């Protein structure tokens, strides 16, 4: 029992004294998707706000620019399900 406790203490000390920073160990393979969404957001915001005829429709255009992928998927489903 005493040897088992000693092994556990050694393992804990190894973990505590580990020189690797595990907090910043992230997988960055899909980081391009965020840029693609941001570029689409900017384009949609410019389009919707530039076609707005009042402040209220400009605000609505900005909100539409945030959720434009939902409109895209909805229209794609409508097109393919016909």
State CA 63 to chain mean position distance: 18
> Looking at the predicted structure, is the pLDDT value of residue 79 above 90?
yes
Task: Identify the helix (H) or strand (E) that includes residue 26.
Answer: none
Interior CA angle at 18 toward 14 and 23, to 5°? 130
* Per-residue model confidence as pLDDT tens digits over 64-76: 999 988 888 899 9
* Per-residue model confidence as pLDDT tens digits over 5-53: 667 777 766 665 655 555 555 555 556 778 888 888 899 999 999 999 9
Looking at residue 40, its pLDDT comes to 87
Looking at residue 4, its pLDDT comes to 65
Looking at residue 12, its pLDDT comes to 67
Looking at residue 47, its pLDDT comes to 92
Q: Where are the domains of the chain?
A: 37-82
Contacts of 62 (CB under 8 A, 6+ apart): 45, 48, 49
Q: Whole-model pTM?
A: 0.53
CA separation for the pair 41, 65 (Å, rounded): 5
């Amino acid at each position: 029992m005493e040897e088992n406790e000693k092994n556990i203490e050694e393992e804990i000390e190894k973990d505590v004294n580990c020189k690797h920073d595990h907090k910043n160990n992230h997988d960055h393979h899909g980081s391009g998707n965020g840029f693609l969404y941001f570029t689409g957001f900017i384009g949609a915001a410019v389009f919707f706000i530039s076609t707005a005829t009042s402040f209220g429709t400009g605000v609505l255009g900005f909100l539409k620019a945030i959720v434009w992928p939902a409109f895209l998927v909805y229209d794609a489903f409508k097109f393919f399900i016909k």
